[in-house]
Structures are given as C-alpha cells and as structure tokens.
Amino acid sequence: MNSIWDNCLAKLENEISSSDFSTWIRPLQAVVDDKHIKLLAPNRFVLDWVKEHYLTKIEMAIRQFASNEQTLKLEIGSRRSVPVVLDKIQNLAQTLQNKPNFLNKAFTFENFVEGKSNQLAKAAAIQVTENIGKSYNPLLIYGSSGLGKTHMMHAMGNAILQKNPSATIIYLNSEKFVQDMVRALQQNSFSNFKDYYRDVDVLLIDDIQFFAGKERSQEEFFHTFNTLLEKKHQIVLTSDKYPKEISGIEDRLKSRFGWGLPVSIEPPDMETRAAILMKKASVANIKLPQEVAFLIAKKIPSNVRELEGALRRVIANAQFTGREITVEFTKEALHDLLSLQDKLVNITNIQKTVAEYFKIRVADLSSKSREQVITRPRQIAMCLARELTSLSLMEIGSAFGGRDHTTIINACKRISELKNSNIKIAEDYSNLLRTLTH
Amino acid sequence: MAEQIPLDFEFRANKTFADFFPAANQEIVSHLQRCVAGTGEQQIFLWGYHGQGKSHLLQACCHEMQKRGLRSFYYDLLPKNLTDTDIFTGLDDCDLVCLDNIEHIAGKADWELAFFNFFNRQRDLDRKLILSAASLPAHINLCLPDLKTRINWGLTLKLQPFSDPEQIAALIFKADKMGFDLSTSAGHFLLTHYHRDLESLWALLDTLDRASLIAKRKLTLPFLKQILNNQTELD
C-alpha cells in the first residue's frame, strides 16, 4: 500500500528542490488503507509549512497514483510506537512500576578514569551508591562542561540498580523536568506529575543551572526536593558552577543544594587525559600506543568530549586507510585540529586562507587583475593583514604585488563600508577572522 | 530552422551519494554511508567552506535513509530560516537529523538552548545526528559552553577543497550526470573565467545545458564561449 506514497515521492522529488524535499517532504510518513492516505508530519511547524506550500502538489501526485476512494489526511504523528513518556500516562500504578530510568548502561564506574581532578567526586559518588539517602544527600557534583559529571551520574544509577534491581531511579536533565511540568499543567495531570517524581528511590538531575529564571519549575522542584529528602530518598544533582554562584535560582533552593555534599570535578591533568584516551580506545578494541595518547592529551587540554572527538577522528581514519596508529599517523589524521591550534597568523597564512576560502589562486591576490572576483578577496586579505599583523602598510602593500600604502588604506576603508552594507561580506570577513585567529 | 524549446524542467541535482564527486573526500563519504547504515558513528560534524558539497552530502544521507524506509529530517539553519525553535519539537522520532550551517545559531540564546535540549534527547535515544558548518566546531562562537563541548564530541571531518584537475573532473562528471559531454578544455575555460565554487559552477552547467538543447549543438569550446558571451551581454 505504501508504494502509492513511494510513487508520489518519486514524482515530487522531481518537482521540488532537493533541499526543500529533504526538509518538508521526506520526513512525512504515510499510513495507507483503502479509504485514506494519512501523511504524518513530525511536528506542527512541518505540518503547517507543508499545508501552506505543498498541499496542491501532493494532492496532484496522490490523484495520479491512488484510487478515487482514497482521501488525503495530514496530521502530526509517527508510525513508530511511542516510548513511555509522561504525557501518555493513564494508569499511574502501572506506570510507576515501569518507570523508564533513562540510564545509559555504557557509563559505569569501571570505565570512569580516576585522576586527581575527580578523585573526591568519585569517592563520594561510590559512597552514595552504597548508602542510598544516608551518606550525602543531596550529592551535588559541579564543574565545567565536558568533564564527566553526566558519566558519573549514570554510573551511580547503574551501580545502584546492580545492587538493587527493584530500585526506582530516574535520570533526567533539568530541562526535561521543566517540559514535563509544562505538559502536565497543559493536560491537567499535575498530580500525576508530582507523584511521578516524588515517588522514586533515587532522582538524578543533570545541569540544574538550566532551572535559572524558571520560577514555577523551581517552586515545584523545591517541593519535590523536600519530599524526597524527608523520605530519605537519594537526590544527586550536577551543575556547571558551585551552587551559590548560579544566578537566577532562588536562594532557598541554592541553600538546599548545599545541604549535603557539593563536590567539584576539575579539568583532568595530562596523565589523566592520556589514561582516558587509552581507556576509551580499549573499549573500542583499539590498541592506542601510549605516546599517541600523550600526543593527543598534550594538544587537547580542554575537556573530555573534545579528547573523545579527536580519538574518534584517529580511529576512523585508521579504519578507513588500514594504517597503524603511530605518532606520525596521528599528527596527519589530526592535522586540521592540531595545526589550527599551533598556527601563527602571518601574511602568507592570511593570503593562503583567503585564497582557499574564495577559491582563487594565492598568486591572484598579488596580480594586476581588476575583476571583482579577485579584487574583493584581495581587499579582504589586505584588511585582515592590517588587523592581524603588525606589518606596516608599505610591507603589506609589498606582499600584494608591490602596491603602495594608499591602496591598503583604501582597501580597508572599502571593506569597512561593505561590512556594514553587505551581510555576505560581513559574514565572509568574520568567517576568515575566526579561521585565522582560533 | 526553429529553435527547439526545452521542456520546462530545471535540472534537479539529485543530491545522492551517486551524484557526488568525492575526489579527496572519499573517506567522508564512507563515514557518512556507514553512519546512515547504522554501522558507523552516531554523530558527525562536517565542515568546509561554502560550495564544497556539505549540503549535498547531508541531503544524500537523508536520501539513503528514505531508501531504507527510515525517517530523516534536513534543516538549513541559515539566518532566514531561524524563525521558530519549535522546528526541533517532535524530531526525537527521526532516525537521522541533518542540520546544515549550524554556525548561524551561535549567539542566539533561544536557538542554542533549543538545539542543546534537542541534542540531549537525540543522544539519549541513540539517534543519528549530522551537522555541518563553515568552520571547526571549536571555532563556532556558541554562548552555551555545554553545547560547545557536545558538538565537539562526535567525529569531525573536513571537506577537502578540490584541486584544479579535480574540479575539472567534477564538472565533467556532473555534465555526464546531466546527459551531456563537457571537454577538459571547456572545463578548464569555465574554471579560469568564472566563480570557482561548486554551486556557481553547477548553475553554469544548467545554463549551458539549456543553451545547447535550444541550439541543438554540442558544447564545443567556441560554442561555450559564445553562450557565455551572450549571457554576459544579457546580464
């Protein structure tokens, strides 16, 4: 039956631009029976757009391939069976037994690499899993993004479940709490919402800084928090800052966040970063030489997600080329990432980057050509050279085919005017500036 | 002799993997194909300058998902399309979401937050996400640090720019897909006289194809020069 829609798609694909087709038509799912062709859009936005812009085309296609009895219906929906979410809750008792915990089983204490930066947090987390609700309640783990707070939270949930499979645990991001509350209010199911979150053994809430400025959600979370604490059920929170430094959160809530144990996770030192890389590689069944791990760890000091991204690049490249992972290979595979970090801003580099960006030759920048496809990039390159290097106007002029200093001044003036009047040029300039300076 | 009027049919560059000329980007194509087949990465970040084929590849991924009977969604985050963050609602159900030109949400707090929440849901549900931008994720000036680290998480790949011979080969390849022959010398002429980004060159091929159909002539170098001269005069 779906072949009707497949035929329609093949027809529409030739009538609508590829980009629009991928945005508005491809996501539609068809449910076809003898009487109807129901097209399901993923959301209201897509539905409205399709109705407004493509309904006639779709109807014409359907008339070509469907029978006269079949009528077209457009609505929001999915063919996929809907996972258990709060707004679908009808029978509370049944739902409480089957509460989805949203824990990611891949995050465990075993694959959490311990170093000086997270030792204390890990010890506290393990202690909490051994004495739920009794040792530190709430446990608040804080630190910058990408340092392993979420990993630790999932690891706690998984460890508790391992010891007590019947424990009711929920992991969620604070934003989901807010969304569920809004939905419950809209659907007059607020008491279900309250019971849902107040009747768990362990509540793990990630990124509480996103409660900032949401007063009604803070109010409800405050009551949930108190109820769980009174029952001696465990609460674990994470935040990107020490609780008192989070702005937009009520003081009474901030003070409660600090009742138990606030513990920080700091950025990992180089040895820990290398150990993290080795661990992640071994999970992926990849043998990562120690010197390679140290090379990546040295070059990427910022956070664990970025380290993981770099490791993915190395592994993917090795798998594609079939080459062994060595220091040389890694330097090559991460060339784009690493060279940008080491890069010096000089006039040669500016000319090369501008030429590559505008797809012209470096030599064109110094040529006598007065075609606009060459003059505009040349002016931008001159302007960038003036902004990013300490060279004199004469030196810059000399690097662009021996032009004199007034040409450079005029180029800078022209680009400055164009940046204000032409969005495309402003965007090109800012892209180039970003590429050169980061 | 009367000119043959071509059908009112604009060449719809089918944005599929088969229509993509990879040159030095074969590795990228391979990773994207593995991703959509469910045997590769869950999250890919594709970056490269404008006109190198990022949008083509993202749409090719959606095309592959459709062939597999799976749901996908493509959205171009150009400033003109940043109208309603509700676009992220309900996408949890899509097996693959491709977001093009992601750098344009930088600095727009509501879009950054909406994308952050969407990203988390997508990841929790183990769905695939392919992003594209003109620069490395680390160079996108996002205000939300949590989002910045997240877009660095997946596999980041740079589209390598074409060399001149590769660009000429790409033009010949594309012309062939459109059903006409383009000689190397004609390709070289186009490359040295016009915009070199692929998008502009594809548009030029459309013009040439149309003119050659009307005149019922092969695209020889003199004829090509004549068409383009006529066009310049018209412009």
Contact B215, B223 (CB under 8 A): yes
Would the pLDDT of A83 be above 50? no
CB under 8 Å to B66, separation ≥6 — which residues? A9, A26, B72
Average pLDDT, whole number, for chain A? 88
Beta-carbon separation of A316 and B41 below 8 A: yes
* Strand ranges (E), A6-148: 29-32, 36-41, 71-76, 139-142
Residue B125 placed within a domain: yes
- What is the residue type of A268? P
Beta-carbon separation of A13 and B12 below 8 A: yes
Would the pLDDT of A19 be above 50? yes
Q: Classify strands B128-133 and B43-47 as parallel, antiparallel or unpaired.
A: parallel
Give the pLDDT score at B87: 94
Give the pLDDT score at A85: 43
Residue B9 placed within a domain: no
Which structural domain range is residue B215 located in? 164-233
The verdict on whether residue A77 carries a ligand-binding annotation is no
CB under 8 Å to A303, separation ≥6 — which residues? A144, A145, A146, A147, A267, B149, B152
Would the pLDDT of B10 be above 50? no
- Touching check for A369 and chain B: CB below 8 Å? no
**Mean pLDDT to the nearest integer, B100-112:** 95
**Domain architecture of chain A: domains with CATH:** 4-76 (3.30.300.180), 109-264 (3.40.50.300), 270-344 (1.10.8.60), 347-437 (1.10.1750.10)
The verdict on whether residue A248 carries a ligand-binding annotation is no
Q: Mutate which of A2, A7, A22 to test chain B, going by most B C-beta atoms within 10 A?
A: A22
What distance in Å separates the CA atoms of residue A214 and residue A185, rounded to the nearest whole number? 15
Q: Which helix (H) or strand (E) holds A416?
A: helix A405-421
* Minimum-distance CB partner of B90 among A43, A317, A431: A43
Two structure tokens written together for A72: 């077209």
Among the listed residues A247, A192, A256, the one whose alpha carbon sits nearest the alpha carbon of residue A228: A256
Among the listed residues A161, A113, A159, the one whose alpha carbon sits nearest the alpha carbon of residue A265: A113
**Mean pLDDT to the nearest integer, B75-92:** 93
Q: Are B114 and B29 in a shared domain?
A: yes
Would the pLDDT of A337 be above 80? no
Contact B149, A305 (CB under 8 A): yes
Q: What confidence tens digit (pLDDT) does each residue in A117-138 have?
A: 999 999 999 999 999 998 899 9
Q: DSSP letters of A138-151? A: SEEEE-STTSSHHH
Q: What confidence tens digit (pLDDT) does each residue in A228-267 have?
A: 999 999 999 999 988 888 889 999 998 888 889 999 998 8
Please give the residue of chain B at the shortest CA–CA distance from A433: B139
Q: Which helix (H) or strand (E) holds A172?
A: strand A169-173
What distance in Å separates the CA atoms of residue A254 and residue A244, rounded to the nearest whole number? 6
Binned at pLDDT 50, 70 and 90, residue B214 comes out as confident
Structural domain count of chain B: 2
**Mean pLDDT to the nearest integer, B171-175:** 91
How many other CB atoms are there within 10 angstroms of residue A132's CB atom?
A: 19
* Minimum-distance CB partner of A316 among B31, B66, B149: B31
Q: Are B84 and B119 in a shared domain?
A: yes
Among the listed residues B93, B143, B139, B134, the one whose alpha carbon sits nearest the alpha carbon of residue B115: B143
Q: What confidence tens digit (pLDDT) does each residue in A403-436 have?
A: 988 899 899 999 988 988 888 888 888 888 877 7
Residues of chain B neighbouring A356 (CB-CB closer than 8 A): 49, 161
Q: Domain containing B202 — which CATH number?
A: 1.10.8.60
Q: Domain containing B111 — which CATH number?
A: 3.40.50.300
Q: Are B90 and B138 in a shared domain?
A: yes
Average pLDDT, whole number, for chain B? 87
Q: Are B71 and B110 in a shared domain?
A: yes
**Mean pLDDT to the nearest integer, B115-129:** 91
Q: Enumerate long-range contacts of A3-8, CB under 8 Å, 24 or more apart.
A: A4/A30, A4/A32, A4/A37, A4/A62, A4/A65, A4/A66, A4/A70, A5/A30, A5/A32, A5/A37, A5/A39, A7/A61, A7/A64, A7/A65, A8/A58, A8/A61, A8/A62, A8/A64, A8/A65
Q: Are B182 and B119 in a shared domain?
A: no
Binned at pLDDT 50, 70 and 90, residue B7 comes out as very low
Residue B6 placed within a domain: no
Taking the CA of residue B45 and the nearest CA in chain A, the distance in Å comes to 10
- Touching check for A198 and chain B: CB below 8 Å? no
Q: Are B65 and B181 in a shared domain?
A: no
The verdict on whether residue A146 carries a ligand-binding annotation is yes
What distance in Å separates the CA atoms of residue A377 and residue A360, rounded to the nearest whole number? 9
What distance in Å separates the CA atoms of residue B104 and residue A235, rounded to the nearest whole number? 38
Q: Among residues B132, B158, B184, which one ends one of the domains?
A: B158
Measured CA to CA in angstroms, residue B59 lies from A200, B26, B32, B97, B99 at distances of 43, 17, 11, 10, 10
CB under 8 Å to A189, separation ≥6 — which residues? A86, A87, A89
**Is this model's pTM higher than 0.90 or not?**
no
CB under 8 Å to A420, separation ≥6 — which residues? A426
Binned at pLDDT 50, 70 and 90, residue B233 comes out as low
**Mean pLDDT to the nearest integer, B203-222:** 84
Measured CA to CA in angstroms, residue B173 lies from A406, B168, B176, B205, B228 at distances of 45, 9, 5, 11, 21
Would the pLDDT of B232 be above 70? no
Lowest mean pLDDT among A90-99, A386-395, B56-65: A90-99
Please give the residue of chain B at the shortest CA–CA distance from A341: B138
| A to B CB pairs, distance under 8 Å | 155
Give the pLDDT score at A257: 87
In terms of DSSP H, where are the helices of B16-163?
26-37, 54-67, 109-124, 145-151
Contact B128, B37 (CB under 8 A): no
Give the pLDDT score at B108: 95
| Site of tokens 């996103």 | A210
Residue B1 placed within a domain: no
Residues of chain B neighbouring A146 (CB-CB closer than 8 A): 146, 149-150, 152
Q: Are B62 and B84 in a shared domain?
A: yes
What distance in Å separates the CA atoms of residue B162 and residue B164, rounded to the nearest whole number? 6
Residues of chain A neighbouring B86 (CB-CB closer than 8 A): 43-45
What distance in Å separates the CA atoms of residue A346 and residue A171, rounded to the nearest whole number? 50
The verdict on whether residue A143 carries a ligand-binding annotation is no
CB under 8 Å to B140, separation ≥6 — which residues? B102, B103, B106, B133, B148, B151
Would the pLDDT of A26 be above 70? yes
Beta-carbon separation of A308 and B27 below 8 A: no
Two structure tokens written together for A235: 């609460």
* Minimum-distance CB partner of A27 among B27, B71, B125: B71
Give the pLDDT score at A437: 63
Beta-carbon separation of A359 and B196 below 8 A: yes
Binned at pLDDT 50, 70 and 90, residue A96 comes out as very low
* Minimum-distance CB partner of B14 among A9, A18, A23: A18
Residues of chain A neighbouring B85 (CB-CB closer than 8 A): none
Proportion of chain B above pLDDT 90, given as a percent: 51
